[in-house]
Structure 1
Amino acid sequence: MNRSLLGLLLLTVSVFSNGEDDLITDLPGLLFKTDFKSYSGYVDANDNGTWRMHYMLTESRSKPDTDPLLVWFNGGPGCSSLGGLFEELGPFYVNFDGETLYENPYAWNAKANVLYLESPIGVGYSYDTNTPNFFNANDDQSAQQNLFALTNFFKTVQPKYANRTFYLSGESYAGIYIPMLTDLIIQGINNGSFPNKNFQGSAIGNGFMNVRGLLNALALWSAYHGRVSLQDWASIKTNCSKGADMDNFDFAQYTNSSNLIDYVGDGSYCGNLIQPLISQNADGTEGFDQYNFYQECYDKSVFQAPAPPATGKRVKRSAIQGVSAVKRNLHYAKLGNFRGTSDLAKNTAALVNRFSNDNQFGYFCWNEDPVSKYLNSDKVQNALHIPQDWKKQNNTWQDCRDSIYNNYKLTYNTTNQFFNSIIKNAKTDFRFLIYNGDVDTVCNYLGDAKHILQVANDNKLTSGPRTPWFYSDNQQLAGYVQTYSGKNGNNATITIDLLTVKGAGHMVPYDRAGPSVQMISNFVWAKPSANINYTSQDNFDPNIQLSELIDTGNSSSVSILLALFTVLINVLL
């Protein structure tokens, strides 16, 4: 055989095996048949390969060989993107038993290949090979890690995506990660150092993009959601703002922060009035969920930890954390060993209410513990190709790693400079989607809207009207959208879609699952300079058909009505 031909064949085999070695061949506990491939492995996040960033990839359920790639980051800082996969937008939800997986009918891989990166190093399964329990992180370091990891993904790990149209996406503190990474990628495309030139946009959900702006807007949001008396609001106007325009008043001047992320009142008269508007009340007993003002987990003894202290720290509540094992066991015995939705039907996904927004049987209230149990199972970690090096460091997978959060160094309290650089330097049409659940108090829609208005004004983008968008065949109001657009000096069209999702909190893909997948599918399939019709069902059919179940050899299943009746009787007893 010709030597050059042999070399080409060997190279082809090598490139193919690079990606296929990470193929998940037997995902433990999977209860439904998948029509897509999933991968799990590592990408290098620095030159010498000591920073190993874990990724998972769920390929598209439509046309994986041609559909675009959507990269997803969770925020925190310190929260794992696998939380996004197993608790929000991925195809796998974990049953109450922490051992089995049921189908999320509204997964974002409907018409996109979705890549989840556990960033920064130290989060989830990502690790430093030289430093056990590595936790040092800051904005610039995270940006460089993300750039290196994504470059390595396209060049070496999954080169079949090297020429694929791709987008960045994420939520919360990814509101800092994504503008920084977007700016670096565009610089890399312009100077020829980044391997994939088909970068068309970035989507940021409930983004932490302007710290002071979010705080000031939250005070307004809270005041008009009944969290302050009219008398106290009048006192703030009279004694604190002294007649200034409240819509643009700097409430932050009466606050302090130890980490530049979380803020509390400074103890002054005005600080004490403003404190309950920006965090939980002074004694920590207010007890609403910061991530969704209207989300309620009624059974506090089992499904919800005590209310977070009024420190300003953003707390993700664990389902059963802080409740004694004795109390848990007694409660489960009372319920007849009720194990959530897995006791109600053989196919948990069949219970998902696809006809209204109340569709997950309180999954939000208890999912963190089952997900943690599942991802800390040795057989699951083996299936995901998690190496012994990670295990030898006595690591555990955590939804959000406190050591990262507590030691993180925020460098940029606003992302204006990155948006401005992106808009100036893009050489091809580029689009942003800035979406917000409108009842999130961690990163509220009003603060993000004001931030984008400033970005648009600084870059002379033209504003379109604010219009409603709709979901499903019977045109249910899903939220509102407004578009800013214009040309930059390179004659590239820059578009920013500012969108709200009605009734959603911080985790939009979970809170409003159907509208969210319709939204993101329309975003990634739009022509770069076109006006997107987010109401369109061309890229997502809301009439979802569930996947066929895997025959586990256990044909017996309890009637839903009988199970519900049994649970209710036991509760009454």
Structure 2
Amino acid sequence: MVFLTFLVLVSVFSMEPVMADRHGRQWTNDKGLNSLGNEDLVTDLPGQPAVDFRHYAGYVTVNEENGRALFYWFYEATTQPNEKPLVLWLNGGPGCSSVGYGATQEIGPFIVDTDGHGLKFNPYSWNREANMLFLESPVGVGFSYSNTTSDYEKLGDDFTANDNYAFLHKWFLKFPSYRKRIFYIAGESYAGKYVPELAEVIYDKNKDPSLFIDLRGILLGNPETCDADDWRGLVDYAWSHAVVSDETHKIIRENCDFYSEDPWSNDKCSDAVGEVLDQYKRIDIYSLYTSVCKKTSEFSDDKSIQVLFKRTSRMMPRIMGGYDPCLDDYAKAFYNRADVQKALHVSDGHRVKNWSICK
């Protein structure tokens, strides 16, 4: 009761600036943020359903000298955000957008609508239970960028983990009320590498009390773990769901040593795995029994499939899944709109940045 009374008093007597969104809702500056955090408040996102929680988007510079900045989108919990944990979500790829996938196709409060015209409310959003922070990482993914070309040549797991760690501490300066909040890191796909590596950096740095982050755990869905095991799992899954024949599966089992330095040096192995990948091109790998999008796919040409024969599955494309098979196309259309980029504090609304769901 005391807390509710305090809210009423603030709404009546506060002299803080008040901002209104496109639905007429008025937001008083959050006392738990500094001025930079409040500047990232999203108030005019085109096509957004009316909601009763705040959300923020913008850049955090992780390296001043090189001009390296990561883009984030943060949603407060729908109820009692001051009492809910903070969850950082990372998508995989590597090189796929946590905003394009996690935030607006999977677990965020808004889902991209048909042809990128707007957003629809997601009743299963994770921000019903936690404050959700989606990060486009590493640089070059989504809206995240560097002004130094050589940064893109340095990209790797360690580089990404250190940038993500720097992001967290800079983000806490914008949102100081979350500095000591219970914290989790979650992700899918190649985040099976990103998440534990970031957790390890946090664990090591937590030895300094001034840098302490209250990390309580990690959550991984369909994670990339071991390249060899992932290849075997992909092949066995295809066979067990009648994507490929018994004969093809037998050839792979007899000729592919995925634990070797170069399993593709065996022609029988390469040809048989090529058959698996060729079949996967024709379906939605994450939703085998639903239709595929009839529009041109980012991964529809033979050249893009050939990258799967790299020594590591890090190059494996994230083939889109879900009930609507064209969500990737909707996301691309939505995030390349000038008014959307302006609302998310990405651009001035005149010079549009080129956004893609995977780099």
Structure-1-length-normalised TM-score: 0.51
**Structure 1 residues 483-502: aligned runs within 5 Å:** none
Query: What amino acid is aligned across from residue 370 of structure 1 in structure 2?
Result: Y
Q: Distance in 1 between matches of 2:119 and 2:150?
A: 30
1:163 aligns with 2:157: no
1:221 aligns with 2:217: no
Percent of aligned pairs with the same residue? Answer: 32
Query: What amino acid is aligned across from residue 289 of structure 1 in structure 2?
Result: D
Q: Distance in 2 between matches of 1:64 and 1:399?
A: 29
Q: Distance in 1 between matches of 2:51 and 2:150?
A: 36
Deviations 1:517-540 (A, max 9, x none): xxxxxxxxxxxxxxxxxxxxxxxx
Note the C-alpha offset of 1:136. Answer: 4.8
SS in 1 for 2:278: coil
Contact 2:286 2:319 in 1 (8 A): no
1:367 aligns with 2:327: yes
Cα 1:377–1:232 shift into 2, 3 Å: closer
Q: What does residue 110 of structure 2 align with?
A: 92
Cα 1:381–1:270 shift into 2, 3 Å: closer
Contact 2:96 2:318 in 1 (8 A): no
Note the C-alpha offset of 1:387. Answer: 4.2
Deviations 1:222-245 (A, max 9, x none): 3333344444555566x548xxxx
Cα 1:94–1:240 shift into 2, 3 Å: closer
Query: What amino acid is aligned across from residue 296 of structure 1 in structure 2?
Result: S
Q: What does residue 200 of structure 1 align with?
A: 216
Deviations 1:88-136 (A, max 9, x none): 1111122214232211111110111000111011211111134499565
**Structure 1 residues 87-486: aligned runs within 5 Å:** 87-131=105-149, 136-154=154-172, 156-196=173-213, 198-234=214-250, 240=255, 250-253=257-260, 256=263, 265-266=264-265, 268-277=267-276, 279-281=277-279, 287-297=282-292, 300=294, 302=295, 307-309=300-302, 310-311=305-306, 312=308, 314-316=316-318, 362-363=323-324, 365-387=325-347, 395-401=353-359
Cα 1:308–1:384 shift into 2, 3 Å: same
Q: What does residue 55 of structure 2 align with?
A: 38
Query: What amino acid is aligned across from residue 367 of structure 1 in structure 2?
Result: L
Q: Distance in 2 between matches of 1:129 and 1:307?
A: 31
Cα 1:303–1:123 shift into 2, 3 Å: closer
Cα 1:17–1:85 shift into 2, 3 Å: same
Note the C-alpha offset of 1:296. Answer: 2.3
Contact 1:176 1:209 in 2 (8 A): yes
Note the C-alpha offset of 1:266. Answer: 3.6
SS in 2 for 1:144: helix
Contact 1:127 1:134 in 2 (8 A): no
Query: What amino acid is aligned across from residue 18 of structure 1 in structure 2?
Result: L
Note the C-alpha offset of 1:204. Answer: 1.2
RMSD over equivalenced CA pairs, Å: 3.2
Contact 1:227 1:276 in 2 (8 A): no
Q: Distance in 2 between matches of 1:225 and 1:318?
A: 18
Cα 1:255–1:23 shift into 2, 3 Å: same
Contact 1:308 1:315 in 2 (8 A): no
Q: How many residues are paired up?
A: 320
SS in 2 for 1:86: helix
Query: What amino acid is aligned across from residue 131 of structure 2 in structure 1?
Result: N
SS in 2 for 1:105: coil
Q: Distance in 2 between matches of 1:222 and 1:254?
A: 24
Q: Distance in 2 between matches of 1:96 and 1:140?
A: 38
Q: What does residue 500 of structure 1 align with?
A: none
Structure 2, gaps ≥5 residues long: 1-29, 309-314
Note the C-alpha offset of 1:181. Answer: 0.3
Note the C-alpha offset of 1:85. Answer: 0.8
Cα 1:169–1:14 shift into 2, 3 Å: closer
Q: What does residue 60 of structure 1 align with?
A: 77
Query: What amino acid is aligned across from residue 82 of structure 2 in structure 1?
Result: D
Contact 1:121 1:135 in 2 (8 A): no
Q: Distance in 2 between matches of 1:135 and 1:109?
A: 35
Structure-2-length-normalised TM-score: 0.78
Q: Distance in 1 between matches of 2:97 and 2:252?
A: 39
Cα 1:98–1:15 shift into 2, 3 Å: closer
Cα 1:231–1:131 shift into 2, 3 Å: closer
Query: What amino acid is aligned across from residue 333 of structure 2 in structure 1?
Result: K
Q: Distance in 1 between matches of 2:350 and 2:156?
A: 25
Cα 1:240–1:69 shift into 2, 3 Å: same
Q: Distance in 2 between matches of 1:129 and 1:94?
A: 30
1:81 aligns with 2:39: no
User: Which moves more between the two structures, 107-116 or 268-277?
Assistant: 268-277
Contact 1:122 1:133 in 2 (8 A): no
SS in 1 for 2:203: helix
Contact 2:338 2:350 in 1 (8 A): no
Q: What does residue 17 of structure 1 align with?
A: 35
Contact 1:133 1:395 in 2 (8 A): no
Deviations 1:187-239 (A, max 9, x none): 1112335242x2101111111121112112333333333344444555566x5
Deviations 1:49-77 (A, max 9, x none): 72111111011012111111110111111
Deviations 1:169-189 (A, max 9, x none): 111111111111000001111
Contact 2:115 2:329 in 1 (8 A): no
